[in-house]
Amino acid sequence: MNLEILPIHGLPKIQPEDDLIAMLGDCGEIQPFDILVVTQKIISKAENQLVEIDPNDPLSHKPLVERESVRILRRRGELIISETKHGFVCANAGIDLSNVEKGQAALLPEDSDRSAQRLRDGLKGRYGLEVAIIISDTFGRPWRRGLTDVAIGSAGITPILDLRGEPDALGREMQVTEVALVDELASAAELVMGKSEGIPVAIVRGGDPNWFGEGSVRKDLLRDPKDDLFR
Amino acid sequence: MNLEILPIHGLPKIQPEDDLIAMLGDCGEIQPFDILVVTQKIISKAENQLVEIDPNDPLSHKPLVERESVRILRRRGELIISETKHGFVCANAGIDLSNVEKGQAALLPEDSDRSAQRLRDGLKGRYGLEVAIIISDTFGRPWRRGLTDVAIGSAGITPILDLRGEPDALGREMQVTEVALVDELASAAELVMGKSEGIPVAIVRGGDPNWFGEGSVRKDLLRDPKDDLFR
């Protein structure tokens, strides 16, 4: 299996209420069984998850962080690591000030799995394009420096590949059993997006047919707080 | 920029003292400026990081976990999350029982950055192939279910892309500034390896020339414990 990771160039700048389905359906780049990785930023913009903040106060988004959070895990200086109302553990509740206009902050989509499903249904219904959708965002990690893109919503793809019971290459049952497929795909797509280039959508082409299926990030990928050793 | 992710098929089963440089140099698949992602397992085998364990005791590798660790972060039942002597925070000190013979456990390489450097130098010196090398392993994460591949060693590639000071697509300075490039590449490569298929090396082709450079996972990517909020 060979994979291609392809940026979609030339998409127009997204505004609130824009029709993302039409933009993607008409771009001419998408083929059936592509996996489309779409950055959270353009979903938040299209769904008008933008909030006015004081452009002259670099901390004016901080009350939003508390409002969007259900549990604070750590604070250090201005940094807050919290569990958001959507269930993600991340910095600053995923609220983003880059790639939005000065004086605005972009909140996470209300329900990124639903946003992904809508996009998938629209591309299928209006364009006959059967694709999987991943909504991605850029999160930090404990223990390791730097950020990677992960999935915050998905549709038409199995979030976790469960390999339990399959033999390893030597015929023994495998120790590693659950691969976070949608997170690996989000990271792969980020490689061609380039933070400064404004590429909001990338295509992963050539994926295993077994990857396509049901499930959602919220239900399948987020760890239940009671099973979590670091919350 | 388009990327290709290509598995290398048909590599022989790796044994202790095998010459990985020759195996890769002779496989006929590698081009200059490829990024080779090599799973930890074959490095550990080639470097003879194998330890005999009692094949009839499923917990016989546990004393090894404590020996390979410098700090225990969490315990639950048989699961130990620790900081290894190499500086990684992971489950069971990265000791692996799958894809090794029954009665054996594979420890992590002593110094995966050095292993990567050796492979890079050998392919350049003996075959004239200028490539980057990433050694990958499969780690869990807090807060999110499933595992992803990350980098535990690298050579010839910048582990973290530092975008500080660069403008975003709207000309404002970017909030997201440090991308964990080698981790995203390790995850991308895992997608074509397939845990049960025994593909131990994948090629990422078409990478940005700016990615190639100096640095190591240990020095650049591992978070200093004193900066860490979850240790």
Q: Which residues of chain A have pLDDT under 50?
A: none
The answer to whether the Cα torsion of B122, B101, B69, B16 is positive or negative is negative
Provide φ and ψ at A105, rounded to 5°.
-130, 145
Same-domain status, A76 and A61: yes
Would you say residue A227 lies in a domain? no
Please name the residue that has the structure tokens 């959708």: A133
Tell whether A30 and A59 lie within a shared domain: no
**pLDDT on residue B55:** 86
CB contact under 8 Å between A192 and B1, yes or no, is yes
Which structural domain, as residue segments, surrounds residue B181? Answer: 1-48+109-220
A187/B142 Cβ within 8 A: no
A141 contact B CB<8A? yes
Are residues A174 and B194, on separate chains, in Cβ contact within 8 Å?
A: no
pLDDT in tens, A53-98: 998 887 888 899 999 999 999 999 888 999 999 999 999 999 988 7
In this structure, are A94 and A23 located in the same domain?
Answer: no
Strand partners, B3: A5
> Could you give the strand order of the β-sheet that contains B147-155, starting from the edge strand earlier in sequence?
A148-155, A132-139, A35-39, A201-205, A3-7, B3-7, B201-205, B35-39, B132-140, B147-155, A178-179, A161-162
Q: A230 lies in a domain?
A: no
Q: Which of A3, A141, A147 sits opposite B179 (nearest CB)?
A: A147
Q: What is the CATH number of the domain that holds B60?
A: 3.90.1660.10
Chain B interface includes A149 (CB < 8 A)? yes
Residue A176 with chain B: CB contacts under 8 Å: 98, 138, 147, 195
Task: Report the DSSP pairing between strands B161-162 and B69-76.
Answer: unpaired
Residues in A closer than 8 angstroms to B149, CB to CB, are 184
Cβ atoms of A147 and A54 within 8 Å: the answer is no
Cβ–Cβ contact A109 with B under 8 A: no
Nearest CA in chain B to A195: B168
Whether B192 and B207 share a structural domain: yes
Taking only residues 31 to 60 of chain B, the set having a beta carbon closer than 8 angstroms to any beta carbon of chain A reads none
In this structure, are A167 and A195 located in the same domain? yes
Query: Cβ(A45)–Cβ(A15) under 8 Å?
Result: yes
Distance CA A22, CA A51 (A): 25
ipTM for this model:
0.95
Per-residue pLDDT, A37: 98
Contact A93, A82 (CB under 8 A): yes
Same domain, B43 and B122: yes
Q: Which stretches of B8-146 are assigned E, i.e. beta strand?
A: 35-39, 50-52, 69-76, 79-84, 89-91, 104-106, 132-140
Residue B11's Cα: distance from chain center in Å? 18
| Closest residue of chain A to B185, computed from CA coordinates | A188
Task: Please give the pLDDT value at position B61.
Answer: 84
What pLDDT, on the 0 to 100 scale, is given for residue A169?
Answer: 58
Q: Do A146 and B160 touch (CB under 8 A)?
A: yes
At which of B108, B128, B144 does a domain end? B108
CATH of residue B121: 3.30.1330.100
Would you say B140 and B161 are in contact if contact means Cβ atoms under 8 Å apart? no
Max distance between CA atoms of chain B, in angstroms, equals 62
Nearest one of A147, A171, A163, A201 to B187, comparing CA atoms: A147
Q: Å from B216 to nearest chain A CA?
A: 12
First to last CA, chain B: 38
Instruction: Collect the ranges in chain B with pLDDT lower than 50.
Output: none
A3·B5 Cβ contact <8 A: yes
Q: Which residues of A touch B102 (CB under 8 A)?
A: 172
pLDDT at A231: 86
Question: Which residues 181-220 of A are in CB contact (within 8 Å) with B?
Answer: 181, 183-185, 187-188, 190-192, 194-198, 207-208, 220
